[in-house]
Amino acid sequence: MVTQTDFIARRRYRDSAYSILAALYEEYQGPMENMQKTEQVKTRAKNFTDYEMDFDPSTGRHGAWKAKDELVRQGYVCEGKAGGCKTYCLSGTGARICNTLFKEIFHPSRGEYTLVEPLHGRVDARGKFRSDNDKSIEKEQKTVLKKRKRNEAEK
């Protein structure tokens, strides 16, 4: 189960991996879709961390971007190449991790956290992306409302 992984247990609000996942999750459009160039991800990730993104030779500290290596190794982030540039996107597992992090652990309703969600749709608990233009969302919402009414009527 995604919520019980060691990776989730080690996450801290605004840590290095959090920032990269948040940046990719905002632009998420499905597993292995919407590959983004390194600089795009780094620029957005800066908004989600208190650390510098790149290696700082004066202190000898690795930047937040170094967390990307573990995310790729774990299979949460996919790495590719396009036009000579490295590109990144979330895998299905990465989307499920983000869903858990941003909807259950670091959701604004649980403290003073920033809301992080995809800009062009939503992700369900299985990591499946639904576009804002997807008519099945409306259908799904109607089904949920019908089930709630039925359950209330049975009580």
Report pLDDT digits (tens) over 52-72. 888 777 766 677 888 899 999
∠ CA(94), CA(18), CA(5), 5° rounding?
55
Domain of residue 69, CATH code: 1.10.10.10
pTM recorded for the entire structure: 0.71
- 């409302």: which residue's tokens? 145
- How confident is the model over 68-82, as pLDDT tens digits? 999 999 999 999 998
Question: What distance in Å separates the CA atoms of residue 18 and residue 102, rounded to the nearest whole number?
Answer: 9
Q: Which domain holds residue 33?
A: 2-154
In total, how many domains does the chain have?
A: 1
